[in-house]
Structure formats: C-alpha cells, structure tokens
Amino acid sequence: QKEVEQNSGPLSVPEGAIASLNCTYSDRGSQSFFWYRQYSGKSPELIMFIYSNGDKEDGRFTAQLNKASQYVSLLIRDSQPSDSATYLCAVNEANAGKSTFGDGTTLTVKP
C-alpha cells in the first residue's frame, strides 16, 4: 500500500462545476498536509496547506482534513479551464521537511 494515495484520474469536469480531489495517507503521525498544482513542464506550485481538522477556504479552493479517517481533500469551485493541471497531495510528519507525495490526479476542465 502506498503511503499517500490519490483518486485515480484523469478527472474531467465542465467549466463552472466543482472538482473534488481526494487523498488518503497511511502514517497517523502526519501533521502537515499540502496541495500542489503542477502544469505540464513546470514545477509544483503550492495552492493550499492545512494543519488542523476541518475545512480551510481560500478563494475558490477548499481543503478538508479528517485525521481520524486519514483523509484530505481539495474542492475547486467554479472550475476554470486554467485549473487544468495535475494536482499533487503531500503529507509531512511533524516538524519534518520531508514531504511524501501521491502520484497526482490530472484534472481537465472543459469549456
């Protein structure tokens, strides 16, 4: 079993819809959770981070964390074609600079 698993893609949604990306992790000691967006040929770009259980909203993005279920998700509201990219979930242990990444979910937003 992989340490960090993301829902298999690719995921395709129409413009304006909500895109839901999911991630589960195996290490219960994990404390920091990150979502990155990576466009083809580019490096990962941090879009959300969450440390506590619950929801965290930033513009059109909402991250949700449930440590009991070892589950973190990312919702993208009003999806735009420019959101089309690969989304990477990353998990860190407490006070550790080592991130364990999932394989990523490729999202396509169709106009």
Partner 1 sequence: KAGVTQTPRYLIKTRGQQVTLSCSPISGHRSVSWYQQTPGQGLQFLFEYFSETQRNKGNFPGRFSGRQFSNSRSEMNVSTLELGDSALYLCASSWVPGNEQFFGPGTRLTVL
Residues in the site for partner 1, rule: CB under 8 A? Answer: 31-32, 34, 36, 42-46, 49, 88, 90, 92-104
CB of 54 to partner 1, least distance (A): 18
The residue among 11 and 13 lying less far from partner 1, judged by its C-beta, is 11
Nearer to partner 1, 13 or 56 (CB): 56
Whole-number minimum distance, CB 16 to partner 1, in Å? 29
Closest contact distance (angstroms) between CB of 20 and partner 1 is 21
Based on the number of CB atoms within 10 Å of its own CB, is 22 exposed (0-12), middle (13-18) or buried (19 or more)? middle
Q: Do 86 and 106 form a contact (C-beta atoms < 8 A)?
A: yes
C-alpha 103/C-alpha 88 separation (Å) is 7
Q: Which is nearer to partner 1, 34 or 84 (CB)?
A: 34
